[in-house]
Amino acid sequence: MINTSNKSEAAVGYGTLYGDMCGGISVLGDVYKTDVFGLAHYINRHMEIIPMNSITKPPSAELRPDQKDSDSLPDYDLLDQILFLYIEKRKGPSDIVKLGFDEAVVNRILRMVNSNEWKRQQTPPILRVSHKAFGSGRRMPIVARYLL
């Protein structure tokens, strides 16, 4: 079985442990959601291989009727920018805010990242494509209060 979580979802804990976060390997675990959409469009560049509805439909955990990820999370375009700065570039909250991002949004996202390490440590190995993949590329203490 393959874990279907991407890096954005894994970062903020937006996945169901022993559900979509389960599996023997995580193929997309080091790929941000916006990049998953980009890859899907690339795969479909000559013909539709991935159904367009699965690309254009608003992302949803589908745990309740009419639920959308944007009900609980910032839009992925914004979320992924902040996650990239925090995870890959190792920028702190004040550095990210200085780049023009809203302080409350930054603090909320980083709090989600830091409070969900326990979930990430229970996921399968992630195929690494970046410098800072979760798992062996980026391990943090589960209970430490190292930020926020």
- Summarised one tens digit per residue, pLDDT across range 128-143 is 998 888 876 555 655 5
- How much is the pLDDT for 106? 97
Q: Are 64 and 74 in contact (CB under 8 A)?
A: no
DSSP structural state of residue 59: P
CA distance 67 to 136: 33
Of all residues in the chain, what percent carry a pLDDT higher than 70?
88
Provide the H-helix boundaries in 15-145: 33-43, 52-56, 76-87, 93-98, 103-115, 117-120
Fold of 2-120: Rossmann fold (3.40.50)
**52-75 pLDDT, tens per residue?**
998 888 777 666 677 777 778 999
Mean pLDDT over 98-103 rounds to: 98
- How much is the pLDDT for 141? 56
Confidence of residue 38 (pLDDT cuts 50, 70, 90): very high
Q: How many CB atoms lie within 10 A of CB 105?
A: 15
Name the residue ranges covered by the structural domains of the chain. 2-120
